[in-house]
């Protein structure tokens, strides 16, 4: 006979703790962001690594790198709990490559219809926003249509009727990747611009990335991220800090601030890989604590 699968059981939080956690999420602070490769499916995994219950409570925004959970599944219920009980915002993510526009006409009207379809996806699935992965020069596949900057700007303008700072809906509009390739008109339309600052080794490298968009992106909208698909065991690459010496790059990102003001936050790609560290998510938790020290 098959042996029953023994599931890891998540920590059970008190109502008071959860209320305080949600209140914290509403304050102005440097946010913690992560792309979660285990976001989708039905959640029937023994380990918490690919289940929403394993995501650290202090995460502010999780991008659904593994897709939207299966409707009616334990994974969907756990994601809903993360949203409602722990105040975690979840965002749908898609590449802005030629596949994105493929079902529609390559025209202004086609872009308008695409924006409406994406907004409908958020509404249908009760998702808190949209994360556009924009890599027209370095991403794989075909990127001809939205590599034209005016087309990308028009997409953001059409989306801004449904999400982002101008919409008034509370839905987030985020671009990650080659944010330096965006037109300045994107600035007022976005909640966050996220740099894939992978393997950055010092503050000068991070500052250079921000300077490239500083004319249109306030520092509090700028988030830096590290690749934990490759670097989860060590907290990223080796980073030279003027005060702390040689430290993991994610920790360097947490300490770093643009010369122009406080940054928006920091995070990791394939955050779930770090669940295997001891303690789980040790580098991400340390980064969160550096950016937002606990008040005792």
Q: Which tokens is 189 given? A: 């339309």
- Report how far apart, in Å, the C-alpha atoms of 109 and of each of 15, 101, 105, 123 are: 48, 11, 7, 21
Q: Is pLDDT of 5 > 70?
A: no
- Could you tell me if 93 and 131 are in contact, meaning their C-beta atoms sit under 8 angstroms apart? yes
Mean pLDDT within 204-221: 99
Mean pLDDT within 112-140: 98
Q: What is the pLDDT of residue 188?
A: 99
Q: Is pLDDT of 10 > 90?
A: no
- Could you tell me if 205 and 218 are in contact, meaning their C-beta atoms sit under 8 angstroms apart? no
Q: Is pLDDT of 6 > 90?
A: no
Q: What is the pLDDT of residue 4?
A: 55
Q: Is pLDDT of 134 > 90?
A: yes
Average pLDDT of the chain is 96
* Residue linked to tokens 């042996």: 3
Q: What is the pLDDT of residue 11?
A: 66
Least confident of 3-12, 118-127, 180-189: 3-12
Q: Is pLDDT of 33 > 60?
A: yes
pLDDT band at 294 (very low <50, low <70, confident <90, very high): confident
For the entire predicted model, the pTM comes to 0.95
- Report how far apart, in Å, the C-alpha atoms of 88 and of each of 109, 144, 237, 286 are: 34, 34, 27, 18
Mean pLDDT within 34-40: 97
Mean pLDDT within 140-151: 96
CA distance 162 to 130: 10
- Pairing mode, strands 222-227 and 192-196: parallel
Q: Is pLDDT of 1 > 60?
A: no
Q: What is the pLDDT of residue 115?
A: 99
Mean pLDDT within 3-14: 64
CA distance 235 to 131: 24
Q: Which tokens is 173 given? A: 């509009």
If you ran DSSP here, which 8-state letter would residue 150 be given?
A: H
Q: What is the pLDDT of residue 168?
A: 97
- Could you tell me if 27 and 87 are in contact, meaning their C-beta atoms sit under 8 angstroms apart? no
> For the domain bounded by 30-291, which CATH number is listed?
3.20.20.80
Angle between helices 149-159 and 108-125 (to 10 degrees): 40
Mean pLDDT within 80-102: 98
Mean pLDDT within 118-132: 99
Q: Is pLDDT of 270 > 60?
A: yes
pLDDT band at 13 (very low <50, low <70, confident <90, very high): confident
CA distance 174 to 45: 30
Q: Is pLDDT of 217 > 90?
A: yes
Q: What is the pLDDT of residue 140?
A: 86
Q: What is the pLDDT of residue 9?
A: 63
CA distance 262 to 278: 30
Least confident of 38-52, 167-181, 261-275: 38-52
Q: Is pLDDT of 78 > 90?
A: yes
CB atoms near residue 30 (< 10 Å): 19
Mean pLDDT within 128-151: 97
């Amino acid at each position: 006979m098959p042996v029953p699968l023994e599931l890891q059981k998540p920590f059970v939080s008190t109502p008071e703790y959860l209320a305080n956690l949600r209140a914290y999420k509403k304050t102005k602070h440097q946010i913690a962001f992560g792309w979660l490769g285990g976001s989708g499916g039905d959640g029937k995994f023994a380990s918490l690594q690919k289940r929403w219950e394993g995501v650290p409570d202090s995460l502010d925004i999780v991008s659904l790198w593994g897709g939207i959970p299966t409707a009616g599944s334990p994974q969907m219920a756990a994601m809903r709990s993360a949203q409602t009980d722990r105040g975690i915002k979840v965002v749908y993510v898609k590449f802005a490559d030629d596949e994105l526009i493929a079902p529609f006409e390559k025209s202004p009207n086609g872009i308008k219809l695409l924006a409406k379809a994406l907004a409908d996806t958020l509404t249908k699935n009760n998702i808190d926003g949209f994360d556009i992965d924009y890599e027209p020069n370095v991403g794989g596949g075909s990127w001809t249509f939205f590599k034209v900057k005016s087309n990308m700007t028009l997409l953001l303008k059409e989306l801004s009727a449904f999400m982002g700072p101008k919409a008034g809906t509370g839905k987030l509009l985020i671009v990650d990747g080659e944010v330096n390739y965006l037109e300045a008109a994107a600035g007022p339309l976005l909640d966050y611009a996220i740099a894939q600052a992978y393997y950055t080794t010092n503050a000068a490298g991070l500052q250079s990335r921000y300077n490239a968009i500083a004319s249109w992106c306030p520092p509090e909208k700028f988030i830096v991220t590290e690749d934990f698909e490759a670097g989860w065991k060590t907290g990223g690459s080796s980073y030279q800090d003027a005060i702390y010496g040689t430290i993991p790059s994610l920790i360097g990102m947490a300490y770093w601030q643009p010369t122009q003001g406080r940054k928006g936050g920091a995070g990791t790609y394939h955050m779930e890989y770090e669940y295997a560290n001891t303690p789980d998510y040790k580098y991400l938790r340390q980064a969160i604590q550096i950016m937002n020290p606990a008040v005792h």
